[in-house]
Amino acid sequence: MPTKPARYAQLSARETATLPFILLGIPFVLAGTLFALPFSNKPKEKHWRRVLTERILRYVSSISMSQTQKLTGTTESVYRKAVVKLRVKPVVEDLGHGAELFWLGPKRNDRILLYVHGGAFYAPPMEPALYCLDHVRKKLEARTNSLDVGVAILKYSLWPEAAFPTPLHQAVLAIQHLLASGVHPSGLQLIGDSAGANLITQVLLHTLIPLDGVPPLKLTAPLGGVFLISPWASLSAKSPSHTRNNGSDWIAAESIRYWGAAILADVPTPLRGYIEAVDAPDAWFDGLERVVRRVFITAGGAECLLDDIVQFADIVKKHHSRVDFLIEEGGVHDDMIVDFVSGLPEEQLSETSSICVQWLAEGFDEAK
């Protein structure tokens, strides 16, 4: 693994020199993918924009972590661009300890959806992930019972400037802040993808088995629900699906191993159960129903993380009676979000999008 940089988006001389050539390669990747489309064995139902998107994402995700940071910017810059395009007023709350809440629309204190973004603990959210969130928010508001929901996005510190358990500390601060603002735990639902789903899982485990140095999360009632999209349940990338699905997912197994090694390097071995839930002691999940009322876990049938997610879902089901698990046939990592990267029309969005809205609506209805 390359030498760890000291700052976010700090490039080595080699990374600086190669970055322009990486960018120059994107048009050739696009052209090659378009040329090969008529001869490919892509599923007939997969839109050509999805095929292009997945190919570009795979190409870009193969570069170094620092180069990715240089290209994508920060969580704040992604948020600022998104709110301009969505024509909503930016609302930012400083939580201290480097954490912030970015609101996607008006603040509320009755029904709140807290989004914890993915990005392997080193990258900001993809801008289309916020369009996905806005889509969910508007769908909830358009329901016959008019579910007005506040959507908050957690800005947590990223590698290399932060290591475990700093993001966990910041996630706990965000939940404490929202509860202190007046929302009842049952009116707060969490949604996260990939590393964000991992971080939500860390919060659940920390609430059950408090980690020294991180503020305890004391709940007067269980949280309303957690919706985990393609959770990164094991950073070691050893399960068979990393080989079996390596050619069908937009994230290569080699990239997952590279990111996982960088993040795990800062995690003491006795504490790895918090960040690799599939290896946590089974007893750590005891009492999970006291922490959250409902759990939904999704996976793509063609993603590298599939076997780890299946194992994780089985563990959660042993300790909670209200767990839904969906494997989307032919789906890739973060399938629901990749639809919005592709700019697909609403009628071609993945099954997970409509299920997500319905499931969250039921959770908020229960909180009334």
Q: Is residue 50 part of a domain?
A: no
Does 266 have pLDDT greater than 80? yes
Range of the domain at 254: 74-366
pLDDT at res. 43: 60
Q: Is residue 69 part of a domain?
A: no
Q: What is the domain-level CATH number for residue 109? A: 3.40.50.1820
Contacts of residue 293, Cβ cutoff 8 Å, sequence gap at least 6: 186, 222, 223, 224, 225, 322, 363, 366
Cα angle, residue 260 at apex, residues 255 and 265 outer, rounded to 5°: 135
pLDDT at res. 39: 65
What's the pTM value of the predicted model, to 2 decimals? Answer: 0.96
Domain count, the chain: 1
Q: What is the mean pLDDT of residues 141-169?
A: 92
DSSP structural state of residue 294: -
Q: Is residue 275 part of a domain?
A: yes
d(CA 136, CA 190): 13
Residue of 57, 227, 182 lying closest to 127 (CA atoms): 57
pLDDT at res. 303: 97
Q: How far is CA 106 from CA 90, 111, 293, in A?
A: 9, 12, 26
Residue of 178, 205, 199 lying closest to 189 (CA atoms): 178
Helix (H) or strand (E) holding 323: strand 323-328
Q: What percent of the chain has pLDDT over 70?
A: 96
Quickly state the pLDDT bin for 367 (edges 50, 70, 90).
Answer: confident
pLDDT at res. 34: 80
Task: Quick: pLDDT tens for 310-342.
Answer: 999 999 999 999 999 999 999 999 999 999 998
The tokens of 346 are what? 């609403």
Q: Are 181 and 109 in contact (CB under 8 A)?
A: yes
- For residue 184, the tally of other CB atoms under 10 A from its CB is 15
DSSP structural state of residue 2: P
Q: Are 97 and 169 in contact (CB under 8 A)?
A: yes
State the amino acid at position 90 in one-letter form: P
Q: Is residue 318 part of a domain?
A: yes
Q: Is residue 18 part of a domain?
A: no
Lowest mean pLDDT among 136-145, 187-196, 265-274, 349-358: 136-145
Does 146 have pLDDT greater than 90? no
Chain mean position to CA 353: 14
223: which strand partners? 292
Chain mean position to CA 286: 24
d(CA 1, CA 348): 40
Lowest mean pLDDT among 10-24, 40-54, 313-327, 334-348: 40-54
Q: Is residue 24 part of a domain?
A: no
d(CA 337, CA 352): 10
Quickly state the pLDDT bin for 344 (edges 50, 70, 90).
Answer: confident
Residue-by-residue DSSP string for 120-184: TTTSPPPHHHHHHHHHHHHHHHTSTT----EEEEEE---TTT--TTHHHHHHHHHHHHHHHTT--
d(CA 348, CA 104): 24
Q: How far is CA 325 from CA 227, 247, 309, 313, 355, in A?
A: 10, 24, 10, 7, 11
Does 2 have pLDDT greater than 60? no
Q: Is residue 10 part of a domain?
A: no
Task: Quick: pLDDT tens for 71-91.
Answer: 999 999 999 999 999 999 999
More confident residue, 34 or 297: 297
Q: Is residue 4 part of a domain?
A: no
Task: Quick: pLDDT tens for 107-135.
Answer: 999 999 999 999 999 999 999 999 999 99
